[in-house]
Amino acid sequence: MVTRNEYPTTVGGMIEWCAQELERGDVFCGHGTDNVIDEAASLVCAVAGLEHAAAISGPQAFYTRALPGGVAVAINGMLRQRIEQRLPLPYLLKEAWFAGLPFYVDERVLVPRSPFAELIAAHFEPWLEPSSVRRILDIGTGSGCIAIALARAFPASHVVAVDLMPDALDVARINVTRHAVQDRVELVQSDLFEQVEGTFDLIVSNPPYVAEGEVTELPPEYSHEPNVGLFSGADGLDSSRRILQDAARYLTDDGMLAIEVGDGAARLDAAFSKLGFIWLEFESGGEGVALLSAAELRAGL
C-alpha cells in the first residue's frame, strides 16, 4: 500500500504511476479510452481539475506541475474503485465526452463510445446534403449524446430522441438542459417507432447489438452497464431487424437510415442480403455502421 507521502508529486508522475497500477489491475479500456496511459491521464486531469488541452499547448509546464497531497489521495481513491470494482471511469467521473462535448452519465445509460461522432462531425456528407436535414430521429438515445451532437451539427433541425427506459430519458434530460437544446431536442419514451409520428430526413440508431450468449465473453466493466442497452436476442439483431423493417415508413423520399451494429455487420448482411448496405470506415476507429437510403429500404424489403 502506497502511503500519502509516497505518492508521485507531479502530474506527469501521477499519470505514469496510475497507468502502471491500471496495467497491474488488468482493467479493460474501452469506455472512452483504449489504453492505460489515456485512462490514467483522464482520471488525473478530472480529479485535479486540469484541462487536457494544457498538455498540448505547454507540455513541460503541464507534466511538471506539482500535485497537492490531498489531490493525490483523491486520485488514488478513485483509482482503487476503478481497479477493484472494475467500474468504467466515466461512471466514476459522472462524465463522458462524445463529439467534442461533455455529457453527464451514470449506470442508467451506456457510456458514449460510438463512431457516429465522426459522421456527425462531417455532417453526414457526402451521403446527405446538410441543408436539407430538417427532422432527425435518434432511436435508443440513452444519455442523449447522439441526439444533442446532431442538434448542434444541424442547427436548423428538430431532433426526436426516443428510448424505452424512463431512467435513460432522465439522464438525457440532464444533458439536453446542460447543452441548452430543449427547444430542438424532443425526448419521447417509445419502444423503437411505437410512439413516433411523422417522417424524418435522417434516422440514426445505435441499438443494442450484443448476442445474449456473449455475455460471459465481455470484460467485467460491461456488467455495470444496463443490459437493455447491450443485448438483443440470440444473435444480437432483434432490435436492428425491427428498425430495418419499419424505418422506410418514417423516412422522407430522400431520407437516410444510419445504424450501428458493431461486430454484427456480417450477421446483418446475411440476414438482409437484398439490402445494399454501405459499410463505413472511420479514421478514428470503430466499425459496424451502415447507411441505407429510403429508396433502398423500400426496394429491398
Name the amino acid, one letter, at 59: P
Contacts of 30 (CB under 8 A, 6+ apart): 113, 219, 221
Question: How far apart, in whole angstroms, are the C-alpha atoms of residue 108 and residue 167?
Answer: 6
pLDDT at 231: 95
Residue-level pLDDT, tens digit, the chain, 301 residues: 555 568 999 999 999 999 999 999 999 999 999 999 999 999 999 999 998 777 777 788 889 999 988 999 999 999 999 999 999 999 999 999 999 999 999 999 999 999 999 999 999 999 999 999 999 999 999 999 999 999 999 999 999 999 999 999 999 999 999 999 999 999 999 999 999 999 999 999 999 999 999 999 999 999 999 999 999 999 999 999 999 999 999 999 999 999 999 989 999 999 999 998 999 999 888 899 999 999 999 998 8
- Look up residue 153 and give its three cell numbers: 451539427
Question: How far apart, in whole angstroms, are the C-alpha atoms of residue 38 and residue 206?
Answer: 25
Q: Quick check: helix, strand or coil at residue 159?
A: strand
pTM exceeds cut of 0.85? yes
Cis peptide before 208 (omega within 30 of 0): no
pLDDT at 54: 74
Could you count the other beta carbons within 10 Å of the beta carbon of residue 8? 17
Burial of residue 202 (CB within 10 Å: 0-12, 13-18, 19+) is buried
Residue ranges per structural domain of the chain: 4-93, 98-300
- CATH topology for 98-300? Rossmann fold (3.40.50)
Q: Quick check: helix, strand or coil at residue 103?
A: strand
Contacts of 84 (CB under 8 A, 6+ apart): 25
The single residue listed with the C-alpha cell 432511436 is 139
